[in-house]
Structure formats: structure tokens, C-alpha cells
Amino acid sequence: TRRNFTLSAALGALGTLTARSQPTEPQYDEARVPPYTLPPLLAFQGGARLQHRRDWPARRRELLDLFSAQVYGWTPPRLPAATVREVEAATPALEGRARRQQFQLVWPGMPPVDVLLYRPAHDRPVPVFVGLNFFGNHSTNADPGIRLSDRWMRASEQHFIRDHRATERSRGTMATRWPLDLILRRDCAVMTAYCGDFAPDDPAHVGEGVARLVDTASLPASAAPERWGAVGMWAFGLSEMRRAAVSMIGLDPTRAVVIGHSRLGKAALWAGAQDEQFAMVVSNDSGCAGAALSRRLYGEDVARITTAFPHWFCPRFATYGHREADLPIDQHQLLALCAPRSLYVASAIDDRWADPRGEFLAAVAADEAYTFLGVTGLRVTRMPAVDRPVGQRLRYHVRSGGHDITHYDWSQYLEAVRQTLR
């Protein structure tokens, strides 16, 4: 059962974990990848094999609990529901090709979350991509009608962040990652919010978002290693955005797609694993603690990621640095938690840090769940050629280039929506 506990804004429990390991240099030599055995997917912790599809919900619950306790932390139960406050009604935008809406998710005791929505100009319900952005809604397009975020942001000269705040020059700096014209032409909508509105991406500030919704006085000291981190908070935010879509004209909430790139790809996977109302889950270059197998020890590993970004996970995850084989779970099981829904895992061939092969092998291992549940998943065991997508309900591609989410990636995700979310 889920535990009723909270986050300490300073993540003070990190200092009590004496087993935490320091990172070593990343290795990119396939010959040095150690032998490993993945924990079973279709067997309960006690060893009994699943016999029927009706056994899957219990195994699914078991895996969710393991990932909560060991990696992402528990999403606190009974969090208050957000109130949706309209900021801008549907307004013609992008030279009449779209309607732009802006609204806020409001909770008592914390700053509101600004959400931006673009949908086709007609009112027929369409699939909606739900994703977070790194530097504010205004960074996703140069449209001057988008509200400029006034929230704390990570320092970035490239994105014209000054004193940890966006500036007018920040507009549209991430537009290539949000190809609105392509999305609208494929008759889909996109809803986005700044990840920092839910949890600022910094250990000193991570407690300034949805962490405030939790009563910190109720947390027993013994539960400290299982507190949720930023990935869990971002995942919670994605589900709250999906819930807001239910009442909106022009959106089909039964065809909601959760999408994320890099660290936000980890959040998209964790949101899709927990929230079965997402019809499709998209992981783009999510790497370690995302789609890539932890046991492969290639590129970024547990020691390195938990040292650089301790606030992303529950403190317990750091104790598995340099002993990944002791993890009771691995990322193929996280991917399998999306089954039998549509899942798309994508890599980039030059993004060795995120271990493209490890992401593919996780998808191969997760395919066992899709077969067990009676749907056609990946269907291949050999890594495909670059820019050659494979699979059906479970899909994978490795594209040319490096760590990014591109027009090519979006084209494949939109095609998957067309084929699997009819």
C-alpha cells in the first residue's frame, strides 16, 4: 500500500545515506559492459510466474511499489486537486492556423502553474500531447502572446536567462523542440508547462513547487529514503495537466500522449507508468533512470546521475551507485508498466551518454509484457538501422544526430498516434 509521507525541501536525508558512491569516468566500450541478468518481468517477487493476463494488475502494482521505493520516491496520496483558472480563452494564433489557450493550475499555498495549449483552429476533438519544457512556455515559440514566465530558472546564456529569470530575448529559444506547424498539420494539439513550476530543477529550490502541497510534519524519519524527488513531482504535474484536458473544447482526453525529452523523458515514463489514462507514452533520449538499462554500465550510471542531480530521485537510489546489480528492478520493467498501451522509445546514435543500445535492449525486454497481454509490440531483437523505426504498439527508433528532440522524432510520434490511437 502507498505510504503517507512527504518531501523535505532540503532533501536532508541525502546526508544520512552512508552507502552513497562517488562517480567514476563514464565508459563507452561495449567490450567492457559487464555480464548482467535482468530481474524477471513476468514473475512475482516470491518467484511465482504469472499464468494469466488477470495476474498482470497485481504484478503491475508490485513493480510500481518497487520503483517508488527504490528510484523515484512515492507520489504522496490524497494530494489536493488543482483548480483550473483561465488566463486566455481560445484565441486565433499562428496566422489563423491554431487556437492558443493559456490557463493556470492553482493550489492553495503555492504559486500557480502556467499551462500553454495550442490546438487546431477547428473544435473537433483531437489527440493532445502533454509535455513539460525546460525554460518556460514562452521558449517553445516566439509568439508574443505567450505569457513570459517570472519563475526561477537554471542559469543559461543560450536561453537569455538573467539572474535566474527569463527575459524577452528568451522567447522561442526552444522552438525547434516544439514544431507546432507539424503538430497542427497532423491534427493534434500540444499542452506544455514549465517543469520548474512544479519543481525547480535545483536541489536548493526543488521544494518550492508542488512539494508545498504535502504536510512535512507527517513524515516519519524511517521513510526519508523514499521521499519523492523532482522526477516524481514532474510526473505528478503531467497527470494534473492531463486531467485539465478532460473539460477542454477541441481535445480528446482519451487520446492523451505524455511526452518528454532527456530528464523530462524520465518524468514522462514515470507519469505514463503510474497514470493509465495516458493512451500513449513517449520517451525521447531519457537515458539513465529513464529508458536505458541500469545494469549495462554504459554512459551515465547511477553514481554519476545521483551525484550530479540528487534532487531528481528518492535518496535511496543513490545507494545503488557502483552496485546496480543489487537493484531489485531495472528499466525494462518501467517500460512494461505502459503495456498494453502505446509506447515509443527513441534514441540518438551520437548520444552515447544516454546509451542508445541500452534503451533499445530495455524495449526488447519489455516486449515480453506486450506479448503476454496479447498485443503486437516491438517484434524485433536486433537494433535497427539509424532512422529506421520498428515496432507497432511498442516502437523504437535510433535517429542520426545527438541529444535533442527533433522534427524527425516528432514525425515518428505523430505517425504512431495516427496508427495506434485511432
Catalytic residue among 8, 322, 403, 411: 403
C-alpha cell at 353: 551518454
What region, left, alpha or beta, does residue 94 occupy, with left being phi > 0 and alpha being psi -120 to 50 degrees? left
Q: Which amino acid is at 31?
A: A
Burial class (CB in 10 A: 0-12, 13-18, 19+), 77: exposed
Instruction: Indicate if the alpha-carbon torsion angle 201, 206, 212, 218 is positive or negative.
Output: positive
Considering the candidates 262, 286, 342, 347, report the single residue annotated as catalytic. 262
The span from the CA of 241 to the CA of 64, in Å, is 21
Note if 262 is an active site residue: yes
Q: What is the CA radius of gyration of the chain?
A: 20
> 18 CB contacts (<8 Å, ≥6 apart)?
none
Total residue length of the chain: 422
* Block residue for cell numbers 534514441: 347
Specify whether 403 is catalytic: yes
In terms of Cβ atoms closer than 10 Å to its own Cβ (0-12, 13-18, 19+), residue 150 is: exposed
- CA 313 to chain CA centroid, Å, is 13
What's the order of all strands across the beta sheet hosting 98-106? 83-93, 98-106, 113-120, 189-194, 126-133, 251-261, 280-284, 342-348, 394-399, 390-391
Q: Which residues are catalytic?
A: 262, 403
